C-alpha cells in the first residue's frame, strides 16, 4: 500500500514538473522577427547582484534588521521577476528551435537541437531556483545562498545566434543556386 502511494506521488510529481516546463500560455513564436518583437530584456548582472550572498552580507551590516528584511524582500521580488522573464524567453527559444529544425539541413538541425536542449535545461534550473527564492522571501534573514544553477543565459542566446547564422547561410546558398 505504501509503495503504491509512493509510486502514485512520484507519477503526479513528474507530471507536474513536465507541465511546468512545457506549460502552455506563453507567447506564440512563428519566426525570428516574432522573437525580436516579444523577447524580454533581462540584465543578468543585476540578477546576479540580487542573489549574491556577499551583497546580502554587506546589506545586513548596513541596515537595521527590520529595514534589511524589507529591502531583502524587495530584492527577491525583483529576482523572481527576472526569473519569470528569463523563463518566458527560454520557452520562446524552445519554440524557435523547433521551428528552425523543421525541414532543416543536418547542421541547422544540430544547432536547433542545442538551442532546444539549452532552453529546456535553463527552464528546469529555473524551476529549482524559484522555490528557493520564495523561501528566502518568507525568511529574509536566512544566510543561506540561493543555489543558482548555471546554464548561462548568454550561452543559450549564442545557440540562437548560431541558428540564425546557419539559416542565413542556407538562404544565401538558395539565392545563389536559384
Least confident of 51-60, 87-96, 150-159: 150-159
Q: What is the mean pLDDT of the chain?
A: 79
**What's the whole-model pTM score?**
0.74
The tens digit of pLDDT for each residue in 33-75 reads 777 778 888 888 888 889 888 999 999 999 999 999 999 999 9
Distance CA 132, CA 145 (A): 9
What is the average per-residue pLDDT within 110-135?
86
68: CB partners within 8 A, 6+ apart: 59, 60, 62, 140, 141
Amino acid at each position: 500500500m505504501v509503495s503504491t502511494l509512493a509510486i502514485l506521488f512520484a507519477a503526479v510529481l513528474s507530471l507536474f514538473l513536465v507541465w511546468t516546463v512545457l506549460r502552455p500560455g506563453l507567447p506564440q513564436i512563428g519566426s525570428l522577427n516574432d522573437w525580436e518583437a516579444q523577447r524580454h530584456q533581462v540584465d543578468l548582472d543585476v540578477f546576479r547582484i540580487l542573489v549574491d550572498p556577499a551583497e546580502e552580507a554587506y546589506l545586513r551590516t548596513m541596515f537595521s534588521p527590520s529595514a534589511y528584511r524589507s529591502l531583502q524582500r524587495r530584492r527577491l521580488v525583483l529576482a523572481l521577476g527576472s526569473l519569470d522573464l528569463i523563463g518566458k524567453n527560454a520557452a520562446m527559444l524552445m519554440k524557435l528551435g523547433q521551428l528552425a529544425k523543421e525541414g532543416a539541413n543536418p547542421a541547422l538541425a544540430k544547432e536547433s537541437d542545442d538551442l532546444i536542449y539549452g532552453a529546456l535545461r535553463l527552464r528546469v534550473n529555473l524551476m529549482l531556483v524559484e522555490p528557493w527564492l520564495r523561501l528566502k522571501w518568507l525568511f529574509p534573514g536566512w544566510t543561506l545562498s540561493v543555489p543558482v544553477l548555471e546554464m548561462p543565459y548568454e550561452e543559450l542566446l549564442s545557440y540562437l545566434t548560431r541558428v540564425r547564422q546557419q539559416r542565413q547561410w542556407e538562404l544565401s546558398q538558395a539565392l545563389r543556386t536559384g
